[in-house]
Each structure stands twice: as C-alpha cells, then as structure tokens.
Structure 1
Amino acid sequence: MSATAIATLGSRTRVLLPGVIVSAMVAAAATFLSEHYGAPVMLFALLLGLSVNFLAADGVCKPGIEFTAREVLRAGVALLGMRITLEQIAALGWQPVVMVVVLVVVTILVSIAAARAMGFNALFGLLSGGATAICGASAALALAASLPAHPKKERATLFTVIGVSALSTVAMILYPMIARAFDLTPLDAGIFLGGTIHDVAQVVGAGYSMGPETGDSATVVKLMRVAMLLPVILCAALISRAQGAEPGSKRPPLLPWFAVGFVLLAAINSTGYVPTVVQNLGNDLSRWCLVVAISALGMKTQLRELASVGIKPILLMVGETAFLAALVLAMLHWGF
C-alpha cells in the first residue's frame, strides 16, 4: 500500500470514527437495557438513537453516523448467512420448505396490494411485508439497503422496525396460547411459531417455552424464513435497477455485495467444517452490527417525523401480522 493510500485511509478513518463510536456507544447502552429489562434490543437502540438525534446534524459525528447506518448495516445482513445450513432445511422435509416459500410470497404480495389500497407507496408494502414475512427488523434493514432511494425511506424503515419489534414481542406471549387453543401437535406448534413470529430471538423464546421438540422445529422453520431474505433482496435490487440510479450515481448492482456475502457464508456454514465457536461469533457479530446500524438510523431521524405517520401504517402492519398467522394456521389445518 502506497504512502498516499495510507494517508487517505487515515484521513477517512479520522472523519468516520466519531460517528461510529457514538453509534457503538448507543448500541452498547441498548444491549445493556435489553439484557436487564427483557425488551427487544432493536427497540431500545431505536429509542436511544432518537433521543440523541442532534448528533447526526451537521457536525463531527455526521459522516460516521451516515457510514454506520449504511455500510455497517450491510455487513450485519451479510453475516446473517452464518445462521443457516442446508442440513437444517433438509431435516424438515420438502413440505415445510414449500410452505415457507408460499407464505412469504403471498404475505408480501398481499402487503403490497394493501399498501397501495391504503394510499402508500408499493415499496412500503414490500418493506413492511418483507419484515413481517421473513425475519422482522433484520429483514426490514436488509430490504431498506436494497430498495431505491426515496425521501421517506428512512422514516418508513424506522417505523417498520419499531412495529415488527413490538408485534414480535406480543406474538411471543400470545402465539403459544393460540397453539394450545388449537391443540396443535409439538411439531405443528413449532411450524406455527417459526412461521409467524417476526424475530429469531422471540421464536426461540416462544418455541422452547412449549418444549424442546417445538423449540427445535420452530427455530429451523424460522431459519428457513431467514433464507428467503436472499430472493427477496434480489427482487428489491431488480426494482432499484428498473427505476434507475439517481443523477450522478452508479446504477445499482443486480445482486448487492452483502447479498453475495450472505450466500457465501451460508454455503460455507453448510459444509459442516465451521466450528460452533465461529458460528456463534458470526451470529453475535451480525446482531451487533445490526444494533449499531439501527442506533445510527435512529440518530438520523427526527421524532416528530415518526409521530406524523398516523394510524394507517399501524393498521397495515397489524393486518399483515394477523394475515400471516391466519395463513399458517389454515395451511396446517388443511395438511399442507
């Protein structure tokens, strides 16, 4: 590396470091609160980020916060590939795989149609529907990174993260009671919980509260939904390319680098040669990157912007969640 390149890298690091450090500090505080009070860490990161949003105004922290909200987010999405192996998916057979594909596609299509009917941009339906159908806050962040630029995209992303985090917590408490009310078998209960609850942590909590068999099947079904993130990101990238690039910027790639990283890590993880300690490290690093990124997104957002969204987006997300639960129960009832 030449002296000029080293000097440029050092200069760039000095510019970004204050914002990155601030984002990491907010994420650390959110993690502490989450571990001590049991609420979703993403929700704490958002709220704490919103409380110090003045740091993202023109100043020394702004470039680093922008970098964290964009690039650290994408790195966290790529590392999600460490959660998945082909062996886990094959262990459940073909029916749950087909079921997951159907419920993800149908939920997203219904969400887009509902969003347009309610007067929203169709991309908001894709964003909220993808978060509901795939993996909650992680999917919302991944899709937001793939979708074309829009003046209201960041506000829509933050609202979606808040919504799916809150609804996922409610589902973790409510859905095991629904599974018992419908007298589902341990396997079917796991498929129901893994196929409906938004975030992985809540799926694990709800599944193992009903027993080890339910917890195991719920976790694997949930990871199958996480695997659907790749084709949905590809669709979002195609939409971005179809809409063209902003003036002065490059055309978006057909498959973003973080999606390629997701596939490569999932493939490597499927070989069986990755030690458990490395898998755990990858999962922890992914979670940490996403929490840091959502902290930065929170700092970039004005609270009054979120307060102005009205009741319709809330109804849309509650409706998407209820539709997904009803769809999975119907598919289990009809022996899909």
Structure 2
Amino acid sequence: MPILSTGNEKYAQTKILMPGILLAVILSFAATFISDHHGGPTLLYALLFGMSLNSLIEGSPAKPGIEFTSKYVLRIGVALLGVRIGLDQISQLGLTSASILVIAVIITIISGVLLAKFFGLDKRFGLLTGGATAICGASAALAISAAMPASPTKERSTLFAVVAVTTLSTLAMILYPPLALWLGMTSTEAGFFIGGTIHDVAQVVGAGYSISPEAGDAATVAKLFRVALLIPITLFVTTIFKQTSSNKIKAYLPPLFLVGFVFFTSLRSIGVLPEIVITQLSELSRWCLITAIAAVGLKTSLRDVLQIGHQALILVVIETAVIAGLILGSVYLIH
C-alpha cells in the first residue's frame, strides 16, 4: 500500500508540473524553428516568446511547471555545459581575470551597502541587493536572505531583490551582446564581460551563446566563478549576523549545478567520455537551456518592477552599472 501511495503522489505531482513544462518545451521548439529557418539567436527568441505570454500564465495551472523548468531544468542544462569545457579552457580565465572578478564582486557589494545608507534604506537591504547583483541574481538573494536574521521587512526585501535583479538581468541579456559587438570585443572578451556582469546564470548563458559558442563558453566559466564566490560571501554574511549552526553548514555548500558542472568538466578533461557522448550531452544541455530560458521569460514581468519603490530600484540599477563599469573597464585595460 505505501508503494501505491508513493506512486500516486508522484503521478499527481507530475500531472501538476506537466502544463508548464510542455508550454516551455513548445516555446523552445518554436524558437528553434524560427532560428533554423530565419536566423538569429535561439535563446533570445525563447526568452522573448516567453515574456510575450507572461500575463497569460498568472494564476494558470502552468505556473508550477514553469517554476520547475526555470529552476531545475536550467540547473541540469548548466551542469551539462561542463561537458563542453575542459580544464584547459577554465585555466584560460587566469589569475588576473579571476582577481578582477573577485574585486568587482566585493566592490559591488560594498557599494550596495553604502548606497543603501545614502538613499535612507536599511544596510541589510543594500547587502542583499549588492550580493544578488554581484554574484548570481535570485539564487544569491535567497541564499544571503537565509543567512540574515528575521525582520519585518525581510521577505519583502528578498522578493524585491529577486524581481529587480531578474528583470535587469533579462534586459542585460538583450542589450549587452549588441553592446559588446558594437564595442568591437572579441568573443573571449565579450564572454568575460557578459559572464562578469549579468546577474542570473540563465541570462548569462543566453547572452553568451547568442554571440558565439566561444563567447558562451567564456561567459559560463566567468559566471560560474562568480557563483562559486557565493560560498565565502554567504559564510561571511552568516558570521556577521551570528546565525545558527545549520545555516553555517549551508553556507559551505556550493550550488548543486556548480558541482555538476565541475563533475562533467572533470570527465571531459581526463578523456573518459567518447566524442559521441560529449556531442549528445552537449545537445541535451542546449535543449535544457532553451526550454529553461523560455520558462524564465514566462515568469518575468516588467509590471512587477513598477510596484516597488523608485529609490530601491535606482539602487539596484546603480549596482548593476558599478559591476558593468568595472568589468568593462578591465576588458579595455587588461584584456
């Protein structure tokens, strides 16, 4: 009887998720069809198709599946991206580039705290939005929020950070690739710029691979290095606010998709994967990312931004400009 019950529960959950997953899959097929027959970046088409339907999915049965796809299918896609990148490519980031990313992340977070004070906002809010902007968007916002003590405004601040950085990251995904090309950046420079500035992993992948495979790989490496910085930053926040031991343990844990990325990169680097397996896993990764980016578009609404305070929005915009300016400047001074 317990086995039957478990099976029924899994079936019920799958039934709940299927409408949203299928909608994202359909949009991914549509984006691929348009790209194959008329040219243009598949991931960008998927994002725009999703955003155009955002108002239709509010309160619909598709929402749970969209949330699932934008979160878990994305992580699978990013983890599988590791199969495309060997340690020789990761080493191309170099000590200089890694140092630039560390410095940019730290300055952005400090800027968030100082600017929050300037605008009359809580310093914790500046730390939250600064960390989300500097590291990995919504995931960083949730992780840093979990490391902070409870307060009456904590949930609202976290929700704002997630909405704001996701919206700005979506805009950056659309605007940064043509900006990089207009500035005459090479694929590697464009990838470093995109991976070092855009907030969320989904949009980094979308923007990078919309330029070229080389730019996408460089953007992914730079972005995942920033994601790895979530570990020491969250641990630092936990230490500041003297959280419980359970939160301290969580602060040490890297995102699972980062572990997966390193795992597949290691397999690629030591040469245990046949070329046909690498090709198939790369293709699976591509489809996961297209489907996930469609789901990200479906849940992205610019209307939500209009419901938040303008000073808080200005704060996140400035934080975004700070990290973009730092990385852009480094591209011209060093790269």
TM-score, normalising length: structure 2: 0.69
- The alignment's C-alpha RMSD in Å is 4.1
1:28–1:89 CA distance, 2 compared to 1 (3 A): same
The answer to whether structure 1 residue 195 and structure 2 residue 199 are counterparts is no
Query: CA separation of 1:203/1:73 partners in 2, compared to 1, >3 Å: closer, same or farther?
Result: closer
Say if 2:21 is the partner of 1:20: no
Deviation readout 1:176-209 (Å, 9 max, x if unpaired): 2234xxxxxx6xx445422322323433444x5x
Give how far 1:72 is off: 4.8
Confirm whether residue 10 of structure 1 aligns to residue 11 of structure 2.
no
Q: Which runs of 5+ in 2 are unaligned?
A: 35-39, 147-153, 199-203
Asked if structure 2 preserves the Cα contact closer than 8 Å seen for 1:74 and 1:142, the reply is no
| Residue 127 (structure 1) aligned with residue 132 (structure 2) | yes
Aligned residues: percent identity?
A: 23
Q: Which residue of 1 aligns with 2:162?
A: 157
CA displacement at 1:317 relative to structure 2: 4.4
Name structure 1 gaps, 5 residues minimum.
131-138, 180-185, 209-214
1:294 aligns with 2:287: no
Runs of 4 or more consecutive aligned structure 1 residues displaced over 6 Å after TM superposition = none
Worse-superposed segment, 289-298 or 268-277: 289-298
Match for 2:46 among 41, 65, 80?
41
The 5 A counterparts of 1:238-253 are: 238=235, 239=237, 243-244=243-244, 252=250
Counterparts of residues 1-336 of structure 1 (less than 5 Å): 4-5=2-3, 7-32=4-29, 34-35=31-32, 36=34, 39=44, 41-42=46-47, 44-46=49-51, 48-55=53-60, 71-72=72-73, 74-76=75-77, 78-91=79-92, 93-115=94-116, 117-118=118-119, 119=121, 121=125, 122-130=127-135, 139-144=136-141, 146-148=143-145, 151-152=155-156, 153-179=158-184, 189-197=186-194, 198=198, 199-206=204-211, 216=214, 218-235=215-232, 238=235, 239=237, 243-244=243-244, 252=250, 254-255=252-253, 256-274=255-273, 275=275, 276-284=278-286, 286-288=288-290, 290-291=292-293, 294=296, 305-335=304-334
Structure 1 residue 23, shift from structure 2 partner: 1.5
| Structure having the larger proportion of residues in helix | 2
Shift in Å at residue 228 of structure 1?
A: 1.1
Q: How many residues align?
A: 300
266 and 290 in structure 1: CA distance in 2 versus 1, 3 angstrom threshold: farther
Give the residue type in structure 2 aligned to 1:22.
P
Q: 1:29 to 1:325 in 2, by over 3 A?
A: same
Structure 1 128/117 Cα, relative in aligned 2: closer, same or farther at 3 Å?
Answer: farther
